[in-house]
Chain A
Amino acid sequence: GAGVSQSPRYKVAKRGQDVALRCDPISGHVSLFWYQQALGQGPEFLTYFQNEAQLDKSGLPSDRFFAERPEGSVSTLKIQRTQQEDSAVYLCASSYYDGLAGTDTQYFGPGTRLTVL
């Protein structure tokens, strides 16, 4: 089936604007993750959902960042009053639990590249 999709792929915002980034996970995947990847760095964990429940949001850098997954499928990451330091690629991943391996396998989307001017 289709992989994880994200939209838009590219977003340019003026400082102070609000942005919303969308993630469509693989159908049936219970878990959904958001990561922030700064230029030249590895992805950094932002938040995690299991179905519609946000179980961990410890990686969100400030209260300007908000994520939701109201029906346990599509998720939106919202950034209010964007700042230049928010410029990064935002990656979404969804996963299923591999009972044999005893761990989740995460499948990543292509990311949304956010540039804040």
Chain B
Amino acid sequence: AQSVTQLGSHVSVSEGALVLLRCNYSSSVPPYLFWYVQYPNQGLQLLLKYTTGATLVKGINGFEAEFKKSETSFHLTKPSAHMSDAAEYFCAVSESGGFKTIFGAGTRLFVKA
């Protein structure tokens, strides 16, 4: 069975500081991994995804994530936080070729001026 663990339900950073949101997954088959962002009263928007190939994945809004199989991790980073990055972030996993997506509980990012 697949599962996703997001470490830290809340993360607070200063504007301009590094953003690091942690995600660990469990999967018995090669996983597809995703990060989504959710703004208040809106649906989820895909930030980036890893399927195969290059383990460092670049997404929208300056975010990137690195798939580390040995650590079963897919942490999300951004070099410099912006106020507009404040939102809820969800890590998700699905089986390669599958359709069922399992989401983590989410991490709320706060950005301080």
Binding site for B on A (CB under 8 A): 4, 31, 33, 35, 40-45, 48, 55-56, 91, 93, 101-111
Contacts and interface: CB of A to CB of B under 8 A. Distances in A.
A43 B103 CA distance: 6
Chain B, interface size: which category?
20 to 34
B43 A4 contact: yes
A101 B51 contact: yes
A35 B9 CA distance: 20
Contacts, number: 60
A42 B43 contact: no
Contact of A56 (B32, B44, B100): B100
A109 B90 CA distance: 16
B46 interface: yes
A110 B96 contact: no
Contacts of A40: 9, 105-106
Contacts of A33: 99, 101
B49 A102 contact: no
A45 B52 contact: no
The 4 closest A-B pairs by CB, nearest first: A42-B103, A108-B43, A108-B44, A110-B43
